[in-house]
Every structure is written in C-alpha cells, then in structure tokens.
Amino acid sequence: MNKTTKKRINIRRKEYFNKKLALQVIFSIVLVSAVIITKNINSGASMQFINAADEKISESLKLSEIKNSIFEFASEVEDKIPFLSKKTAEFEAPVNGSIYQEYGLNKTKNSSFYNHGLDIISNTQSVKSISNGKVVQVGNNEKLSDYVVIESGDKTIIYGKIKESLVSEGDSIDAGDVIAALSEENKLLHIEVWEDGESVNPSKLFEMNE
C-alpha cells in the first residue's frame, strides 16, 4: 500500500470518526432532553426510562467531559422553558381581578392624570402581599383611604383603598400572606411600588389572574 493510499484511508477514517462523534452528541442531546421532560412525570416507568437513558449516554460516548457539557446545556434550556422550569416567581399578584386604571398617564375626555400605581378591580375581598417584607406603616389619608405600607428589600409597596388592615406595624410578611380586606361593595385596590424615590410599574412585577 503506497503512501497516497494510506493518506486517503486515514482521511476517510477521520471523517468517519467525526461523523460518528457528531451523531453520538446529537443522539445524547435528544436523550437528555427526553430525560428532562420525563423527570416532570413522577412514575416508575419514567424512572426506568431515565436510568436506561443515562446508561445509554454513558455507553455511547464514554467521555465524561462531553456528557457534563450536555447536561449543563440541558439545565440552561430547562431554566428558559416555562413549563420545564421549577423556579417560582419573586412576586405574586395581590388579588385576582382586572386592571381598572393602568400605571402612568391616564386620559379622559375632560382631563388627564398620572397614576403612580395600578387600580385593580378584585374578584375577592382578600388582599395578599406580593412579596416578602416588613410592615412599616398602617394608616389613612384622603388620597389612599386606609392603606398598608410594606418594605421589601429596596422596594416600598403601598396597598391603598382597603377597608381593613389585617397586619400591624413591625409584622414580618411572606409573599401570599393576606394583609388586608377590601370593601364588599367596592372591591377596588390601589397598589404602588417605589424604588430609589421613583415609582415602578407594578404590572412588571406580577401577572394578573382573572
């Protein structure tokens, strides 16, 4: 066998090896994706599939570095896909209902005004804290009527237009705790979020549920 023939055979072997490795990597990515989805199904059959898939990945590649890289990639994908991600939202909606007046400039036929918060028509009387925090003020004024102020990290959250406060100054609050009640006749909540002396659009922190 001359040198030219040997060189061609070596090139073909390298091309074959590269194609085989590429197919193994693609096959393993598909298996890992299936494992991630299957992990969300809590059953004996799903566990058998996960174990079998894991063994198949090990057998097909035998390269721990590639396998670890694939799992890292799959974890990133899992975090970015809503139905796979297990992360919980930092903020929760204070009530179930619909937005009556949006944050920012609101215009009517005769006037316009700037709303520093959201006005929400609630389906229930209960008002929940949108985040963890501490009650720093409970009071009443002409603009907000009865209100509760909670500090949460660098944010100050004001719950206004309530009928009754169910917390006291100094109380520690968890997200989802019921902190106030709305009027049965007029279930309207006004909520403001302030950070560094400026108002923040509350609708960017949580999603409303009807």
pLDDT at 109: 80
Residue 200: Cβ within 10 Å count: 18
Query: For the chain, how far is it from start to end, CA to CA, in angstroms?
Result: 78
Q: Does the pLDDT of residue 200 top 80, yes or no?
A: yes
Q: What is the spatial distance between Cα 43 and Cα 45, in angstroms, rounded to a whole number?
A: 5
Q: Which of 175, 165, 171 is nearest to 125 (CA)?
A: 165
CB 183 within 8 A of CB 189: no
pLDDT tens per residue across span 50-93: 565 555 545 544 444 444 445 455 545 444 444 444 334 579 99
pLDDT tens per residue across span 135-188: 999 999 999 999 999 999 999 999 999 999 999 999 999 999 999 999 999 999
Q: What is the spatial distance between Cα 129 and Cα 172, in angstroms, rounded to a whole number?
A: 11
CB 67 within 8 A of CB 73: no
pLDDT tens per residue across span 87-139: 345 799 999 999 999 999 988 888 888 999 999 999 999 999 999 999 999 99
Mean pLDDT value across residues 29-43: 56
| Number of residues that this document lists for the chain | 210
Q: Does the pLDDT of residue 30 top 70, yes or no?
A: no
- What domains can be seen in the chain, in order of their start residue? 3-80 (no CATH), 97-204 (2.70.70.10)
Q: What is the spatial distance between Cα 51 and Cα 41, in angstroms, rounded to a whole number?
A: 14
**Which tokens go with 97?**
């209902």
pLDDT at 88: 44
pLDDT at 116: 95
Q: What is the spatial distance between Cα 18 and Cα 93, in angstroms, rounded to a whole number?
A: 52
pLDDT at 82: 47
Distant-in-sequence, close-in-space partners of 7: CB < 8 Å, separation ≥ 6: none
How far CA 77 is from CA of 26, 29, 30, 67, 135, in Å, comes to 15, 11, 13, 15, 38
- Facing residues of 81 across strands? none
Mean pLDDT value across residues 189-197: 96
Confidence class for position 37, pLDDT limits 50, 70, 90: low
Q: Which of 203, 131, 112, 116 is nearest to 172 (CA)?
A: 131
pLDDT at 208: 85
Q: What is the spatial distance between Cα 118 and Cα 101, in angstroms, rounded to a whole number?
A: 6
